[in-house]
Structure 1
Amino acid sequence: MPNTYFQFKQFRVEQDRCAMKVCTDSCVFGAYVAVEEAQRILDIGAGTGLLSLMVAQRSKAGIDAVEINPEAQQQTQENFAASPWANRLQLHPQSLQEFAGQERPKYDVILSNPPFFLSSLKSPDVAKNTAKHTGELLFEDILYFAQQHLSEQGKLYLLLPPAEALYFARLAKASDLYLQEELQVYTYHGGKCIRHIQTYTFAPAAPVLKDFFIREEDKVTYTAAFTGLLREYYLAF
């Protein structure tokens, strides 16, 4: 029987009650976002709490996490409470729309691995649908919140598949948020691009495009870039 948790070097993520489990691209995302200087961070769609925990490890920021699913809320809260950073992690068990309706501080970093499949067929699993398909949380909601609550020099980070990333970039530009950097994540050298990690700010600029490979051409060996990025987190490295 597989473990119901994912063990990292400094924390554990229990995930048996969450539709979306810990996955490699989310770990790359959590390790990649620049949070070392941030004072306030918001995690939209916290799920298991993975991203909040990863950025808590690398920062001294106060972190707010928004999650709408009741089972995920309970699991996130338990993961937060069991971590070394429980005093800096605050779960808000509500939708982003409800969260936005209350007075909020400006955030230095807003990050989200949002529901992303805009047009693909939906799973019969309702919880997984909510986690993976736009519906409860729309790209427009994220952008509107960022317009209002991202600090002047702040950064918005998104993890999305390629087609959805292109669509989000168009929406963001219309909302005066501009793509600064895009990390294209590949399964292996010569393999398929599975995700884009996008960085947005209020400052217009030509985006910097980078490639990131998880494994070498043999599809087994992790790349030096991957092991270097995840060294602070993975027990195996």
Structure 2
Amino acid sequence: MSVFHFKEFVVNQENCPMKINTDGVLLGALCDVQKAKSICDIGTGTGVIALMLAQRNHESKIDALDIDYRAVDTASMNFQNSLFHDRLSAHHHSFIEFFEMHPTKKYNLIVSNPPFFLNALKSPHHQTNLAKHTDESFFIDLLRIASTHLHENGSLEIIVPLEISLLLQHLANDYYLHLERKIIVKSFQDKEAFRHILKFQKNPSVEEQTENFIIYEKEGEHSLQYKSALKNFFTIF
């Protein structure tokens, strides 16, 4: 489906290599955006996470970055067609380039639904490679940038597979970032986790918290937890 209708905005994803997916909408719905007046969305794709965060926090201003020009064109169009267009900006830069251009910029929140096929066999299609593949240096750079460009009580929130979660947890302290919350995402209660949503804080205010998030109650039926998280966005709930 090339056009996805949310309750308060519409996402056209026809020309974007990275389509709307479960990871993105979960991060958009579950990350802590309450006090985030300034947000940077790294690897914005269609712009769906930025749009969800703009809906959740009406005071937020969001810079959305992507290295794929088609993604930036798509996100820009979706931003302009939304109620939040004056608070959203799409930029055709890698996050390293963007912060080299804006060395003093700081944010309350940096979010990312990043490429995740760590050191995997790459697709012959260039656009797919850009959207889905990365290596360890990407995450090291992400932690370094977050450490430098977050406000004093700012946070980095990211959704990743478990092996990358372990890597980030291992490296974060080297960049003065501390794990404050981990959401363990499972398809079903009795299945293994397949994603972690990690919240790293510069100055954590609470002890590390761990939560479970279950997507399906049973085959074909979303859990109450999932419905509650997405009820303000999905028209089916």
TM-score (norm 2): 0.94
**2:90 is the counterpart of 1:73:** no
| Deviation per residue, 1:64-110 (Å, 9 max, x gap) | 11111011111111011001000000111111111011234321111
Matched residue SS, 2:170: helix
Q: CA RMSD in A?
A: 1.6
Q: Match for residue 192 of structure 1? A: 192
Cα distance, 1:185–1:40 mapped onto 2, change above 3 Å: same
What amino acid is aligned across from residue 199 of structure 1 in structure 2?
A: K
SS of 2:111's equivalent? strand
Partners of 2:87 and 2:182 lie apart in 1 by 29
Q: What is the count of residue pairs matched by the alignment?
A: 234
Whole-angstrom CA distance in 2 between matches of 1:69 and 1:129:
10
Q: 1:191 Cα shift?
A: 2.1
- The residue identity in structure 1 corresponding to 2:56 is R
Deviation at 1:6, TM superposition (A): 1.2
1:233 maps to what in 2? 233
* Deviates most, 126-135 or 48-57: 126-135
1:120-162 deviations in Å (ceiling 9; x for gaps): 3222222122111115971122111111110111111011001
Aligned-partner residue type, residue 52 of structure 2: M
Aligned-pair identity in percent equals 37
5+ residue gaps in structure 1?
none
CA gap of 1:28–1:105, structure 2 versus 1, over 3 A, is same
Whether the 8 Å CA contact 1:107–1:154 is kept in 2: the answer is yes
Moved >6 Å (runs of 4+): none
In 1, Cα distance between equivalents of 2:199 and 2:28: 13
The aligned residue for residue 119 of structure 1 is 119
TM normalised by structure 1 equals: 0.94
Q: CA offsets per residue over residues 188-217 of structure 1, 9 Å max, x none?
A: 22123221100001236652111100001x
Superposition pairs of residues 1-237 of structure 1, within 5 angstroms? 3-59=1-57, 60-103=59-102, 104-135=104-135, 138-203=138-203, 206-216=207-217, 218-237=218-237
Helix, strand or coil for the counterpart of 2:4?
Answer: strand
Q: Which deviates further from its counterpart, 185-194 or 204-213? A: 204-213
Q: Does the aligned pair in 2 maintain the 1:96–1:137 contact within 8 Å?
A: no
CA distance in 2, matches of 1:232, 1:197: 20
Report the secondary structure of 2:83's partner residue: coil
Cα deviation code 1:11-45 (max 9, x no counterpart): 11111111111112211110001112211011011
**Partner Cα distance (2:27, 2:142) in 1:** 17
The one-letter amino acid of 1:22's match is I
Q: Which deviates the most, 146-155 or 201-210?
A: 201-210
Amino acid at match of 1:71: R
